[in-house]
Amino acid sequence: MTRADEPAVLDSARRPVVAPVRHDSAHAPAPERAALASKRARSFSRLRADAARLRRALAVSTCVMVAWSLFEVPWEIDLSSSREQTAAVIASKTMLLLIAALSMRGRRWARYLLLFICLTSVLAIGPELPAEFDRAPWLAFLSSVECFAKLAVLLLLALYLRSGSKPLPLREPG
């Protein structure tokens, strides 16, 4: 074999390199193209199903977090609470309920505000849980459930915002 007869591309052992076979849909035979199209369609439908599942999980976790927050009100307000403390607790619960509802209705700014509220709550409650378990285990249990509920909303909302999903409907269109 002379120099002119050698292939243009050689590997390290001076063997000819064969071009790889392309397997994309443009160069595939008709049955393979159909299989690839079907696979893409399944992949797209799975992606849509995953987005719907994420929306439902976020809606459920948001409702659980708000419900638990309202459930805790009797332990946050007691007979020794002043009017200002009672008003502050009621105002904070009302604002949380309003922000969560607006977030579920598709207001982007409310989603980011809810994300911030959940983040700051988890950062404020989490480090204090061990000490609270030593002082009052029942109240620590209430705080733990609140912390985990807000952590779940935080994670699901971050995933939802990262995915760039459409607004969170209260009902699936029908």
Backbone φ, ψ for residue 10 (5° rounding): -125, 150
Domain presence at residue 14: no
Domain presence at residue 63: yes
Domain presence at residue 71: yes
Domain presence at residue 27: no
Domain presence at residue 151: yes
Cα gap 52→173, rounded to integer Å: 11
Mean pLDDT over 27-32 rounds to: 62
Q: Taking the model in full, what pTM does it have? A: 0.67
> How many Cβ atoms sit within 10 Å of the Cβ of residue 150?
25
Cα gap 85→77, rounded to integer Å: 8
Domain presence at residue 43: no
Question: What pLDDT does residue 91 have?
Answer: 96
Backbone φ, ψ for residue 16 (5° rounding): -65, 140
Candidates 48, 21, 20, 81; CA nearest to 163 is 48
Backbone φ, ψ for residue 169 (5° rounding): -75, 150
164-to-18, 20, 125 alpha-carbon distances in Å:
42, 36, 29
Tally the domains of the chain. Answer: 1
| pLDDT tens digits, one per residue of 34-66 | 666 666 555 656 666 777 888 899 999 999 999
100-to-85, 131, 166 alpha-carbon distances in Å:
22, 30, 16
The C-alpha angle with vertex 37 and arms to 32 and 38, in degrees rounded to 5, equals 95
* 76: pLDDT strictly greater than 80: yes
Q: Which residue segment(s) compose the domain that 97 sits in?
A: 59-163
- What is the DSSP annotation of 104-160? HTT-HHHHHHHHHHHHHHHHHHGGGHHHHHHH-HHHHHHHHHHHHHHHHHHHHHHHH
| pLDDT tens digits, one per residue of 104-159 | 998 999 999 999 999 999 999 999 999 999 999 999 999 999 999 999 999 999 99
Domain presence at residue 47: no
Domain presence at residue 13: no
